[in-house]
Structure 1
């Protein structure tokens, strides 16, 4: 087997600690200058891992957690499911998260996770996928735009330590 081969697979309970590490370090790396340092510094890998463990296996199976593994090490995580319009689910899909170990930015891991999420949601019959991204996160916005997503004009407030951090919604049609 090629050591550089990337495996995208469903997340397992044993992955919770590593996924939490990737998510927290991803926030702390990608959101520097966009979210107050105090908020980022207060993030805890242990608390995030416990949250993942508590949620693992709950629900009706419509929310899917994926991990990207290379040479036996989890290097990225994505989560997708039905689009949430407030507390109401719609017929559309939503990409809730894509995070990659900051040491692996630009290696294609995030793109592979995104493609898998798009394929899975299209196979389930969803016609459109949405996602939310920090308005000031130009790197992530370019990433999603290269994958065919477009900002649709919707904005949502997010607050971190009393500082407004607006998010913008992106959308993409699924399928052929």
Structure 2
């Protein structure tokens, strides 16, 4: 597992595969990121109702089943606490699920107090490196249209809106769009996020199943 650091504003610590005992920290981080990033976007009652204990149980199960399920979780660990994480695995969209060279980025978060420190850039490079080593050549994610901060980070990291995928969501405020990244492992794309100035942990996607919603954010 690569250990990576960001140039410029360096992210302290290193990226590694998550352990089962990381589940509680991951859940707390996700809740904090949702509440900071989606204030004014998602209903306040939904954000208040996020259940850290239930999410911890979900993440414990996902990490435990990583070997058999093919879904993995990476964390950025500074030696004292987890500052960010990414979760990814097999594509679940009907039009991409039969392609073994495509993976889905289910979740990508950093602690709000770590935004802008390089944690997200480090995690993005490690995620792409992990994919490249496994033969993955394209990735995709779903992100809320109104999550401009997250969308900006993904664009700077090389992701682009997928013109073939129709937006999805329960209403105008919850409309989600699909982003794609191609050519992973080729042409220096593993380093595509180095120039990004918006924090990767910018809580963009919440994994389908990682939260009450199916798709990423």
Tell me the TM-score normalised to structure 2 length: 0.73
Q: Does residue 24 of structure 1 match 2:18?
A: no
Cα distance in 2, alignment partners of residues 38 and 157 from structure 1: 22
1:80 to 65, 84, 88: 88
Of the three residues 32, 47, 58, the one matched with 1:51 is: 58
Residue number in structure 1 paired with 2:175: 166
CA distance in 2, matches of 1:55, 1:124: 19
- Mapped contact 1:22–1:101 kept (Cα < 8 A): yes
Runs of at least 5 residues in structure 2 that lack an aligned partner in the other structure:
1-10, 187-217
**SS class of match (2:29):** helix
Q: Give the C-alpha shift of residue 164 in structure 1.
A: 5.3
Q: What count of residue pairs does the alignment treat as equivalent?
A: 171
- Deviations 1:97-127 (Å, cap 9, x if unpaired)? 1110111111110111111111111121111
Of the three residues 11, 15, 38, the one matched with 1:8 is: 15
Greater RCO, CA 8 A, separation 6+ = 2
Report if the CA contact (8 A) 2:62-2:71 is conserved. Answer: no
Report what 2:8 is aligned to.
none
Aligned position for 1:35: 42
The answer for unaligned runs of 5 or more in structure 1 is none
TM-score, normalisation: structure 1: 0.89
Instruction: State the 1:163 CA deviation.
Output: 7.5
- Structure 1 or 2: more strand by fraction: 1
CA RMSD of aligned residues (A): 1.9
